[in-house]
Structure 1
């Protein structure tokens, strides 16, 4: 323990120090600055949180990117654009199949004069066609859907008609997107992990002996980014926006394992095909699907009905493509 006499001597010396008041003032100033800094930081944090809450509850424009850089991207409001980091963020399709082999087929059974094995082969061919027309990477990058066309019966007019539409796309009824999903490689490229698909098939005996009638209903979701170097900035620094497209297709395909006049054995005949494209500029007919990015969608004049592109409860209307505005992608 210190000597009491020494302690009292030090106190007297400090009291007589001419710089004593200045040291006290400097110490008080430092404490005030520390308190002010802590308060300002807390205020900024609360302001950022409050602003995000206001934004996410819709009291400000839904796409106003407040505090995006400070918020984990998985927690961003769904109204903010998805990015290449999480291309399926906020989409119900994020848990769907990513691979063609994950698409289930119905359990085959003999129908009419067709055996169980023949029905199984017809279903397999139908799935091959759906995949070749909508999931083949070459086709998605704008390539010619040769494999899909090869599965179609060359003796039937549908194959020649689709080939002509691919060669010379245009209005009123020459739009290749009626059957094939393709994107212009000069403008767009698929984001990593940016494809999802869900669907189902059913089958029954065809209207003529030895024919199988297959009904297919599939929904595809694609996340796309601008082809470099024209990337689209995301809502936070160092993020790149993706545009999502939802394509639903309903097909009726006929399959006959044995040949008959005018029919090629083992080939498919598309008897009916309908499509609904969510987030597509349907005023452009050049053989490609053209999605809107967020700024384009906000500025575009789209006087069309708003629909949920994920709604599979009703059939797609027959006839030419009906322009719609997706409520979500």
Structure 2
């Protein structure tokens, strides 16, 4: 669609005093000039030019930026997203937002566990995912207290994960295995830039009164640099966002009833895998560290290149699991 060829107001299709045929020819010439101008500007931008002016007849004045003249929806895919449209070009833009309910399956009775207890277990699993990956304070580097509180205090996993948060490091103490947090001194989520999609299933666990919950969810985050250190966007007056895609596969055991060494109503993470798209796996400090476009272009990224939105296959076992996203 030729956005720049749209008349700015009704009645611009004919010049004052022109006959209809002459006005039509004039309009065609102007449209041709504008199309050429748009193509030239896009080519310059892709070559790394940081300022663009559109000077075709009837178009914006010379001091109006290219970004203001052309809708960001029409930008080339190679251009990074900005705070104006943080999910531009991403399939995640139609997914659920962090303020919506996490999609959960309908509960049914499983063995001796009644439907009501199964429903509670699914709700607790959803609460854990939200608390670990969508809580605003946690995303800004805060302590995931609510997520930890949902875990069984009698099981060693809770103490181990708490220790990882306090003393992160390689090879086996990386909190990003279960929690999504960003360094508050560097990054903050862009407004309207968080989405989630996934699925959950359940079955009877290995012990009486135990529910085994399988969760597979993908979270997308658009992040901006903390003020006043904005990352310049691809056009004047814009601010770039870095997008991170985090896919998590978890097996959570839910105790519908208590027993020795097991706390009723609590969860145990029996297995958890994560795939981080656009993250510096060489840094293990408890935070996810995305690359902005210039950093990604200059970095040596030794991890496999994958489509981060493809959830058709299970995440390979083994830690860490970082990827170079083919798109974000």
Report the TM-score range of the alignment, normalised by the length of the smaller protein: 0.7 to 0.9
Q: Deviations over 1:48-82 (max 9, x none)?
A: 323356589xxx66x76685433211111121010
Matched, 1:48 2:47: no
1:157, CA displacement in angstroms?
Answer: 1.0
Residue 198 of structure 1 corresponds to which residue in structure 2? 197
Residue 239 of structure 2 corresponds to which residue in structure 1? 240
* TM-aligned CA distance change 1:264 to 1:93, over 3 Å: same
Write the distance in 1 (CA, Å) between the matches of 2:72 and 2:263: 53
Q: Is the 8 A contact 1:153 1:268 kept in 2?
A: yes
Q: Which moved more, 1:125-134 or 1:318-327?
A: 318-327
Matched, 1:170 2:182: no
* TM-aligned CA distance change 1:92 to 1:66, over 3 Å: farther
Write the distance in 2 (CA, Å) between the matches of 1:96 and 1:126: 20
Q: Is the 8 A contact 1:141 1:183 kept in 2?
A: yes
1:305, CA displacement in angstroms?
Answer: 1.5
Higher Cα Rg, which structure: 1
Runs of at least 5 residues in structure 1 that lack an aligned partner in the other structure: 1-37
Q: Which has the higher helix share?
A: 1
* TM-aligned CA distance change 1:211 to 1:250, over 3 Å: same
Q: Deviations over 1:201-257 (max 9, x none)?
A: 100001111110000010000000000111000011110000000000000000112
* TM-aligned CA distance change 1:264 to 1:51, over 3 Å: same
Write the distance in 1 (CA, Å) between the matches of 2:94 and 2:264: 38
Q: Deviations over 1:169-205 (max 9, x none)?
A: 0111110000000000100011110110011110000
Name the count of aligned residue pairs: 287
Q: Is the 8 A contact 2:50 2:236 kept in 1?
A: no
Residue 208 of structure 1 corresponds to which residue in structure 2? 207
TM-score (norm 1): 0.83
Helix, strand or coil for the counterpart of 1:192? Answer: strand
Runs of at least 5 residues in structure 2 that lack an aligned partner in the other structure: 1-26, 53-65
Q: Is the 8 A contact 1:97 1:196 kept in 2?
A: yes
What RMSD over aligned residues (CA atoms) do the two structures have, in Å? 2.2
Matched, 1:145 2:144: yes
Write the distance in 1 (CA, Å) between the matches of 2:49 and 2:114: 60
1:41, CA displacement in angstroms?
Answer: 8.5
Write the distance in 1 (CA, Å) between the matches of 2:318 and 2:246: 16
Alignment of 1:1-329 (within 5 A): 45-51=34-40, 67=52, 68-69=66-67, 70-329=69-328
Q: Which moved more, 1:41-50 or 1:117-126?
A: 41-50
Write the distance in 2 (CA, Å) between the matches of 1:322 and 1:55: 37
Q: Is the 8 A contact 2:103 2:197 kept in 1?
A: no
1:304, CA displacement in angstroms?
Answer: 2.2
Q: Deviations over 1:155-179 (max 9, x none)?
A: 1111011000000001111100000
